Structures are given as structure tokens and as C-alpha cells.
Amino acid sequence: MAVMNMIEAINSGLETMMQRDDNVVIMGEDVGYFGGVFRATAGLQEKFGKTRCFDTPISECGIIGAAVGMCAYGLRPVPEIQFADYIYPGMDQLISEAARLRYRSAGEFTAPLTVRSPFGGGIFGGQTHSQSPEAMFTHVSGLKTVIPSTPYDAKGLLIASIEDNDPVLFFEPKRIYNGPFTGYYDNPVSPWSKFAEAEVPEGHYTVPLGKANIVREGDAVTVLAYGTMVHVCKAVVEEHQINAEVIDLRTLVPVDIETIEESVKKTGRCLIVHEATRTSGFGAELSALVQERCFYHLEAPIERVTGFDTPYPHSLEWAYFPGPVRIREALEKIVRDLKS
Amino acid sequence: MADENTKSNLPPLTLHIPEPKFRPGDTVDYSDLQIPEAGAQRRPDINTAPKDMQDMVYDMVRVLDDDHKAVGPWDPKLDDEILLKMLRTMVQVRTFDDRLHRQQRQGKTSFYMKCTGEEATSVAAAMALHGDDMCFPSYRQQGILFVRGYPMIEMVNQIFSNKADKLKGRQLPIMYSSSELNFFTVSGNLTTQYPQAVGWAMASASKGDSRIAAAWCGEGSTAEGDFHAAMTFAAVYNAPVIMNVVNNQWAISSFSGFAGAERTTFAARGAGYGIAALRVDGNDPLAVYAATSWAAERARTNQGPTLIEHFTYRAEAHSTSDDPTAYRSAQEREEWPLGDPIMRLKRHLIRRGVWSEEQQEALDAECLEAVKETVKEAAKNGILGHGLHQPFETMFQDVFEEMPWHLKEQAEQANKEREIKWPS
């Protein structure tokens, strides 16, 4: 075991897979010599050579398109898109090609690629360094979407994603690269080294895709979250001593419906939290699933706490971010009569 | 806000909207089209730097002259046997197109696309490649499959979306796929195959392999962003790839001017990327073969990518859903100064003394018989709309490697509906 922050865990996951599988190739803007703008690929080019980890032109459709072609050859590329906000030029290649390759060729060609991309806000990134576009991908049949919330999960889920034979969108919440963020923006963030989840095995291990993690057990309300919001939710329920069950979904597609269903049937209440904008966000899908499957167990309407339906603002970051106040209000609405 | 630099006395700007020379009913006159003499083009060494062959991108590599003789430095000097195979394959493709187009008209399938007049750009090109070179075609390179010996019946099964369709009825007709023959699965989204071909070539190079990739797109599709991405990546990584632009003058109803052809050639775009480029008479099978061989040798010896513009003419409708008489002069096809690739090769072979009109007639008849027979065989596996050829589960398979819970639930639903919609 070693102590790692999330960036180090991701770097270790990449290194582990490059060591194990000669077909794993890393490509993207600034990922080679420089090691990535967030240092996620630091040292990999030096260790594995330029043909295994290399810089690309600034062209997201080129990066993902070339990666799809590499898959057709038999490689297992792990392209990086520098910020999720810049993934859109590559959408055609992801949606029309990577996601459909296996289906349209009846399994003759597949796209076992993992697109890594830092996402989410809370860092004064403004409109184009803060977005959470996961719902654009969860809506696409043939793509898997994975979002870790701890260093341990980040490495295990990344390895599982790279080994998966389907295309995976691996969104890294950059707000929690260095330590879990509770949403209290005035407080300094404690580094990952102070938390058990920073204990990361140095070798190979996986955290299975499609399996949620119950990060806090409770029976008053089920809180569904992923990425940075897992930590914000945890902090709020702990502060207000709400007996909430907090579930880190980890994989959005395919989502762990069993864990969700079991929890909501137990608690009878459900709060869904994500940073992404509300309308047609992934929360809507979660809400519909819970309503369809747990209707007779529900004791209150399902609530959603999300980003507002606006572009991500710069100066009003903390008014936009779905932080502790918004979550507490929603929880009180659902669990009012249960609050001690 | 007044600006002292404002010059209100300037004439108004005008927006240029390209317009083809000929519309329905117009008399076609191609006399101002620059068609260089066959054999007049130099053949640079394969290691020539792209900047030293920029004259080639405005010229046109031609081998067969007006007397049907092979002339000049680009003559690939192929054996009779290879040329006869080339002719036979092109005839097969054209016969197949005609017959399958007719099947669509008879309601046996939903859709078809011919490549009439462009057979050389896939057949001669594929013959100049190795069988294990990877092809990333668009939807109009069915000739590659014929060259590589793909069973014709598999193509018809796919077109009929029947129970023997290898793609399980999932794909629109003609969007073939054959990993075995290194023919990449055809996508409806234009030019996506371009950066993919470059990525494949990069992979081959990074593994120290000796195989190369070839991609095809139409001139209309060069306007897509993926074309630019692919050219940039191909140049940056010196990828062993051949980028074919089949300039057949028309993108559905838009003439090539809407892809930029009024200002320059498509081959000339290669120069801007630092990519060696050739402009070729696409109706001259020998020129297409020679250019592809040149580019392949270049790629195989680590000299990097080549862009080839095949100057040709889309002789028929864009697809079975298209009526070209609504936007272009019917005379264009007859007047096309580069003729027809099959006729040109036929006349060349007759001139060589290894072929005759009688043999051609026999070949035409033989190919027609074979296609008819194949269509009949394939129809035994079903035709579109007559019965449910695939089990409903196939609709949900291969979305992912393993079927997740939500697809299993939906598959169950589809099966339940079956009883109601189609009671047995």
C-alpha cells in the first residue's frame, strides 16, 4: 500500500496497465513529455517511450478518431481530453463511431478505449473549465460512463475501464484531485493523505464497473451522488446528523440498480445530487428509475439538487455550485419529520 | 459610435454562392476543363519531398491515351492476366450495382447506392494494395470487397437484411463490414473513417508492422472537420496511410464547388499539410493502379502519407433515394471527357490483342448470370419486410460485450410485445 492523491492514483493505474499490456497507449494534448496539465501522465513517456505515451495535435475529433482506428488495429488506447468542456469536437467519433462499432459490425470491430477527462467545477474554472457533461454520454447506447470519488476507486475503476472491452468515458472530478472537497469553500481542503481512501495498492487491482459503493449507511433517506458531490453530501448529513444512506454510484452506465433499489426501499426517501445542470441531467434518469421501481415505498417526493440551468459562471461560482445549503434545504424538505 | 476610419463610400460587399456550370436542360460543354495529355506527367521518386512535387497537385496522372495505348512514366506495365482480372472485377461490380439497384426498385430492400463510373477508384486501387492492408472505405467502394473475394451472396444477404445477414439486419444496406478481409465497417457518418485510418496506420507503425492503411472519402466529405484532423495527424506522425479523395463532382445535389473546387484542386490540399499528393484520372484504371502503388511503396518505406485525388464523375444518382435530373444536366454523363473506366480498359485490352468484343459480351453475360443466381440464392434467406428474420434478442446484443440489466429488461419487453404484434 502507498498513500496517493487522486492524480497519483490515476498515474499509478495508467502505469500498471502500460506495464501489463503492451497494447495500452496514452495520447492527448500535453500528455507526453510534459506529463499532462494535471500531471496525470507524468513520467510515463520516459518510462515507456514515445510510441506508448505521446502528445497530439489540438484536435479532439482527431484524438478520438485516431484512437478508434487504433482499436481496429488491436490496441487499447487511453486518450485524454484535457477538460471535459472540450470533448464536444470529439462527440461524433464517440457517439457515431466508438459507441456503435461493436453493434454495427456485429462484433467484428470493437472500441476498447478509455477516454479520460477532468470534469466538474468548484475551482473557479468559469464556463469552459467546470462543466459536467456526463448526461451527454449516459444518453448514448454503447458507452459506459465512470466517475470516481477517491484515490482508491480512481485507480481501481481506471484499470477496470481500460480492461473493459467497451468504450468508457472516465470523468475525473478535478476538484478532488488533491483532497476531498466538502463544499465549504472557505475551509482549506485536507489532503488525501489524511484519509483512508488514499491507501492505494501499488500493483494491479480493480473496482468493478457497474457497482455502486455505500459510503455511509443510514435508514432515513437515500442520497445518490457521484464525484465531488459524494463528499459534499457526506459532510452535510454528518454535520446535521441526518441518518442518511449515501451512495456513490461510481458507474452511471450501467448503473447499479440493485443497490439503489434496495436502499430506497429501506429508507422510503431519495435525494439525487449532481453538479451538472438540472434539465435532462442524469438525475432525471435516476429519479425516473427510483419512481418506477420504488413507488410504493416512497414516503416523499424524490428531490434533485443540481447545478442551475445556466452556463457555469465565474464570479458567482459558489452561488451556482450545489453546496451544503442547497443540499441541507432539500434534505430538510424530505426528512423534516425525521430530523432530530 | 462614429469611427473616423469608417469609409461609407465603399461599394457593398457581395457574397459568392457557387453555381454549377450546367443545370437540367443545359447543353454541356466541357471544353474549358483542363485535361492534360496522357503520359505527359513526370513520375517522381517515391522519396520525393512533398514540397518538391507541388506541380503534381494541379496536373493529372494519366496512362491510357486517346488511342487506348498505355503511355508515359506512370504506365504500371501490368501483365495481361492482372489487367483482365481488373476488367472482370469492374464488370462484376457494375453488374452487381445494376441488379441490386433493381432489387430496391422491386421493393426487396430499402436502399442501394451504385458506384457506376467510379469502379476504377476502388477496384484498381485495391488491386495495388496487399490483401492485409487495412481499408477504411466510404459507402461507394464496394469494389474493394470484389477484389478481395468477399462472397457476393454475403453482400446480397446484407442488402436484404435477411436471416443470413452477417450484420444481423442492424445496418442500412451497403454498409458492409469484413474484419477478415480488412474492410472496415462502413459508417453513415461521413469522413469519420479518415482519422480512424490514420490511427490504424499509426498503430501499425508503432508496432513495427509492415501493413499500411488506406482511406476513401468523396470530395464533398473533404469539407468535414475530420478530414482536416486526419490530414494533420497523418502529417504529424508520418503515418503509413493513403488518403483517397474520390472527386466525382457531386455530393448529392451539390456540385464540387461547395467543397471548394472552384478555387483549387483537392490534391492541392495535401501540399498545405506537407503531404505528398497526386491528382489522377480516376477513370483510367492504370493510372489509379500506378498512383496507388506509388503511394503504397512510399508508405511501406516509412516515407509517410499520400493524398490521391481521383478525378472522376458520378455517372448515376447519389442513391436510390435521389433523382439527379432535378439538379444537373443529363448530358453531363455522356459528355464526360474522361469516358468510362470499363470501356477504356476494355479498349486497351483489345488493342493489346488479348481481348475482343465477343469475349466482353460473354463476360458481361457471365457476370449477369452469376449475380442473378446469387440474388436468387440470397432471396431464399428472406428479403426485407417479408417476415421477421432475426430473433428479437439480436437487437439488444453487441451494444456492449455483455448485456447490462437495462437491455435485458428491454429485450424481455420486446419479446412480450412480439406475441401481441405478431401472434403466431
Which tens digit of pLDDT belongs to each residue from A255-280? 999 999 999 999 999 999 999 999 99
Write the ipTM: 0.97
Active-site residue, A329 included: no
- Residue B374 makes CB contacts below 8 A (sequence gap 6+) with B152, B153, B156
Judged by a CB distance cut-off of 8 A, whether residue B197 touches chain A is yes
Residue A39 neighbours by CB distance under 10 Å: 14
Query: Per residue in B191-240, pLDDT tens?
Result: 999 999 999 999 999 999 999 999 999 999 999 999 999 999 999 999 99
pLDDT of B2 over the 70 cut: no
Does the beta-carbon distance from A104 to B171 stay under 8 Å?
yes
Using an 8 Å CB-CB cutoff, list chain A residues near B243: none
CA closest to B180 among chain A residues? A108
* Active-site residue, from A29, A60, A97, A197: A60
Do the beta carbons of residue A303 and residue A224 sit within 8 Å? no
- pLDDT higher than threshold 60 for residue B84: yes
* Res B230: pLDDT: 98
pLDDT given for residue B3 in this prediction: 61
Greater model confidence, B5 or A79: A79
Asked if A257's CB is within 8 angstroms of B233's CB, the reply is: no
Q: What DSSP string describes A242-286?
A: --EEEEE--EEETT-HHHHHHHHHHHS-EEEEEEEESTTSHHHHH
User: How many residues belong to chain A?
Assistant: 340
Alpha carbon of residue B89 to chain centroid? 15
What residues in A contact B411, CB-CB < 8 Å? none
Q: How far away is chain A from the Cα of B193, in angstroms, using its nearest Cα?
A: 8
Asked if B401's CB is within 8 angstroms of A166's CB, the reply is yes
Residue by residue, pLDDT tens for chain A (340 residues) are 999 999 999 999 999 999 999 999 999 999 999 999 999 999 999 999 999 999 999 999 999 999 999 999 999 999 999 999 999 999 999 999 999 999 999 999 999 999 999 999 999 999 999 999 999 999 999 999 999 999 999 999 999 999 999 999 999 999 999 999 999 999 999 999 999 999 999 999 999 999 999 999 999 999 999 999 999 999 999 999 999 999 999 999 999 999 999 999 999 999 999 999 999 999 999 999 999 999 999 999 999 999 999 999 999 999 999 999 999 999 999 987 555 4
Cα separations (Å) of B212 from A5, A26, B209?
Answer: 42, 21, 8
pLDDT tens, position by position, B365-374: 999 999 999 9
CB contact under 8 A, B201 and A57: no
Phi and psi torsions of B361, nearest 5°: -60, -45
- pLDDT confidence of residue A340: 45
At B265, phi and psi to the nearest 5?
-95, 165
Instruction: With beta carbons under 8 A apart, name residues in chain A contacting B132.
Output: none
What residues of A are in contact with residue B136 (Cβ under 8 Å)? Answer: 69
Nearest CA in chain B to A76: B203
The stretches of B148-260 forming alpha helices (DSSP H) are 152-160, 193-206, 225-236
From the candidates B279, B318, B347, B389, give the one annotated as an active-site residue.
B318
| Beta strands A53-55; A24-28: pairing state | parallel
β-pair partners for B251: B254
- B223 touching A (Cβ < 8 Å): no
Q: What is the pLDDT of residue B424?
A: 75
pTM above 0.80, yes or no: yes
d(CA A239, CA A143): 37
* Cα separation, B241 vs B214, whole angstroms: 5
Average pLDDT of B386-397? Answer: 91
Q: Which of A23, A25, A59, A88 to mutate to test the interface with B (most CBs of B within 10 A)?
A: A59
- Report whether pLDDT(B7) > 80: no
Predicted pLDDT at B9: 83
Q: Which of A73, A141, A257 sits opposite B203 (nearest CB)?
A: A73
User: Which letter, b or e, does each residue of A223-237 get, where b requires 16 or more Cβ atoms within 10 Å of its Cβ?
Assistant: bbbbbbbbbbbbbbb
| Interface membership of B400 toward A (CB under 8 Å) | yes
Nearest CA of chain B to the CA of A294: how many Å? 16
Joined grid coordinates for residue B325: 435530373
Cell numbers found for residue A64: 478520438
Instruction: Please list the helix, strand and coil fractions of chain B in percent, rounded to the nearest 5, in that order.
Output: 40, 10, 50
Chain B partners of A70 at a C-beta cutoff of 8 Å? 199-200, 202-203
Cross-chain residue pair A59–B171, CB shorter than 8 Å: no
Minimal Cβ distance to A73: which of B192, B200, B399: B200
Closest chain B residue to A91 measured between Cα atoms?
B192
For residues B65-92, average pLDDT:
98
Number of alpha carbons in the 13 Å side-chain half-sphere of residue A318:
7
Tell me the CA end-to-end span of chain B in Å, nearest whole number.
Answer: 77
Amino acid at B58: Y
E strand or H helix that includes residue B295: helix B285-300
Do residues A177 and A223 make contact, with C-beta atoms less than 8 angstroms apart? no
Q: What are the chain B neighbours of A103 within 8 Å (beta carbons)?
A: 170, 398-399
Instruction: Kindly state whether B194 is in contact with chain A, defined as any CB-CB distance less than 8 angstroms.
Output: yes
Q: How many helices and strands in chain A, by DSSP H and E?
A: 12, 14
**Main-chain phi, psi angles of A228, to 5 degrees:** -55, -35
Contacts of A108 in chain B (CB under 8 A): 177-179, 185
Cα(A119)–Cα(A179) distance, rounded to whole angstroms?
15
Confidence check: pLDDT of B5 > 80? no
Q: What is the DSSP string of B122-146?
A: HHHHHHTS-TTSEEE--TT-HHHHH
Residues of chain A with a CB closer than 8 angstroms to some CB in chain B: 25, 51-52, 56-57, 59, 61-62, 65-70, 72-75, 77, 89, 92-93, 96-97, 100-110, 141-142, 144, 164-166, 210, 253-254, 257
Q: Would you call B314 a catalytic residue per the annotation?
A: yes
Closest residue to A93, CB basis, from B175, B192, B400: B192
Long-range pairs for A32-38: beta carbons < 8 A, 24 or more residues apart: A36/A80, A37/A82, A38/A7, A38/A118, A38/A174, A38/A177
Supply the DSSP symbol for B125. Answer: H
C-alpha cell at B145: 470487397
